[in-house]
Amino acid sequence: MAKQTISDQIVKIPRLEYELLREAYKQLKRQALLLRILEAEKNLKQKKIKEVNIDKFIKNI
Q: Which CA distances in Å does 26 have to 21, 49, 52?
A: 9, 30, 33
Residue 50 has pLDDT above 90, yes or no: no
Residue 9 has pLDDT above 90, yes or no: no
| Average pLDDT score over residue span 1-23 | 80
Angle in degrees, CA 32, 36, 37, rounded to 5: 115
pLDDT at 60: 86
Which letter does DSSP use for residue 3 in this model? P
Residue 14 has pLDDT above 80, yes or no: yes
